[in-house]
């Protein structure tokens, strides 16, 4: 996946990218080819000790950042027994961090791939050892997304510095994490995993709201080994209520702003075998240029389905690579047939308008597709595909024995606009 240097991705931090932090594009993606990668040692920074004779704290997450104008394209971390450390790569390639704890007394090898502004790839390999865990750990909290203006579908994210598995300990954490909005709306936290929580109201946030997030956890005992640490408060705002609904059967997208239809766009979605996911998705970022390759989703180069295309005006809605983007090659099918490999394609003029109109956090919903349902977590923000009862069942503060399991397949419904 490439971007021209003059059109940087508008990407939310904490956006979720599961499994080893590798960004994959479902309609394609890839990195530019180069004969010899450069030494990227000076272009990356590690959050833990990696020097000779030093031992890293296993209770700290492994955090790798790109320095200068380059970006990370791939990170793998593996211990001596071959176990990989799962992690997340930010959409703009600026940061990768582990999403599970490191093992104590283990030796790790980390391989980092980078790309500079000229598209040239770099490589850096580091090894380090972890020491013994401390007796008492501090549970720091990082809130996301970064400060700014978002669409009304943007969840609030809390990432914990250590795993919390016990329900009582989770309740302590939840009580201390405060979310307040103006206008006021009720909401709830949902535990995505042992280290991550998402917060959303029952319906979308109000348009033009201010949302403030802070923690009262510092110094509070969470369990026998954890006490609350620091958390930087966060304030974000929402813009207009913008919802784009794509009817895959009708080959049309209807864009609503504050309840009014502002544009109807002929589109094409995924063809048989590559059907677009049904459900509510949230815009994760915008990329002016993306290079999409069929090999990234397992299509052999010599297949009739193979492709290698420059794509413009691309709004990302899943981490596996589903976009809304310009597809001038399929204009003859837009409005009448589904011929894509999973993305929503439209004319260049319509795609440019859509790109300029939407922001991170805006809603893109697909209905009447033959594809699978959008997952609630792990491939973007599918949070809104859980009804309110199941969402609240993911909170440690809600005792509802009759609530459905949070990981059940979501029931789809056309979203009210």
3-state secondary structure of 279: strand
Q: Is 251 annotated as catalytic? A: no
- Locate 123 and state its tokens: 């490589």
- Locate 223 and state its tokens: 């369990």
How many Å apart are CA 353 and CA 315, to the nearest integer?
11
Place of tokens 């530019």: 32
Q: Is 27 annotated as catalytic? A: no
Backbone angles phi, psi at 167, to 5 degrees: -65, -40
CA-based end-to-end distance of the chain: 33
DSSP string of 86-101, one letter each residue: -EEE-TTSSEEEESSP
Residue 1 burial (C-beta neighbours within 10 Å; 0-12, 13-18, 19+): buried
Query: Which residues are CB-contacts of 20 (< 8 A; sequence separation ≥ 6)?
Result: 74, 75, 76, 84, 86, 87
Query: Which residues are CB-contacts of 67 (< 8 A; sequence separation ≥ 6)?
Result: 42, 43, 44, 45
- Locate 117 and state its tokens: 């502004």
Please pick, among 27, 256, 341, 343, the residue that the annotation labels catalytic.
343
CA distances from 18 to 14, 44, 207, 243 (A): 11, 21, 30, 26
Please pick, among 31, 97, 325, 341, the residue that the annotation labels catalytic.
325
Beta strand pairing status for 137-144 and 156-160? antiparallel
How many Å apart are CA 370 and CA 276, to the nearest integer?
7
What is the Rg, in whole angstroms, of the alpha carbon atoms belonging to the chain?
22
Residues with a catalytic annotation lie at: 325, 343
């Amino acid at each position: 996946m490439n971007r021209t240097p003059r059109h940087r991705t508008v990407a939310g931090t904490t956006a979720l990218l599961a499994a080893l932090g590798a960004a994959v594009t479902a309609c394609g993606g890839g990195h530019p080819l180069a004969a010899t990668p450069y030494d990227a040692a000076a272009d990356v920074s590690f959050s833990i000790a990696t020097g000779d004779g030093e031992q890293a704290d296993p209770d700290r997450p492994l955090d790798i950042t790109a320095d200068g104008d380059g970006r990370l394209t791939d990170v793998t971390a593996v211990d001596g027994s071959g176990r990989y450390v799962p992690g997340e790569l930010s959409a703009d390639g600026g940061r990768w961090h582990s999403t599970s704890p490191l093992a104590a007394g283990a030796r790790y090898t980390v391989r980092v791939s980078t790309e500079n502004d000229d598209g040239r790839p770099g490589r850096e390999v580091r090894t380090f050892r972890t020491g013994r865990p401390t007796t008492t750990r501090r549970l720091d909290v990082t809130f996301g997304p970064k400060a700014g203006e978002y669409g009304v579908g943007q969840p609030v994210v809390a990432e914990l510095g250590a795993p919390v598995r016990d329900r009582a300990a989770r309740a302590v954490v939840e009580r201390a994490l405060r979310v307040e909005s103006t206008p006021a709306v009720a909401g709830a936290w949902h535990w995505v995993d042992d280290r991550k929580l998402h917060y959303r109201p029952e319906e979308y946030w109000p348009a033009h709201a201010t949302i403030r997030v802070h923690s009262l956890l510092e110094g509070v005992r969470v369990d026998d080994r954890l006490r609350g640490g620091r958390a930087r408060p966060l304030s974000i705002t929402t813009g207009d209520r913008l919802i784009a609904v794509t009817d895959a059967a009708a080959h049309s997208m209807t864009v609503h702003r504050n309840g009014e239809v502002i544009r109807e766009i002929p589109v094409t979605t995924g063809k048989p075998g590559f059907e677009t996911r049904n459900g509510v998705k949230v815009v994760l970022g915008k990329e002016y240029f993306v290079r999409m390759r069929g090999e990234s989703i397992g299509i052999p180069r010599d297949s009739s389905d193979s492709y290698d295309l420059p794509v413009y005006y691309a709004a990302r809605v899943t981490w596996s690579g589903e976009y809304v983007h310009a597809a001038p090659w399929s204009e003859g099918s837009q409005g009448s047939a589904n011929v894509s490999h999973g993305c929503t394609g439209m004319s260049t003029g319509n795609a440019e308008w859509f790109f300029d109109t939407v922001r991170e956090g805006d809603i893109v919903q697909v209905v009447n597709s033959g594809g699978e349902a959008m997952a609630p977590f792990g491939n973007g923000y599918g949070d809104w595909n859980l009804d309110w009862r199941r969402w609240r069942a993911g909170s440690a503060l809600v005792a509802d024995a009759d609530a459905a399991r949070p990981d059940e397949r979501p029931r789809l419904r056309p979203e009210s606009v």
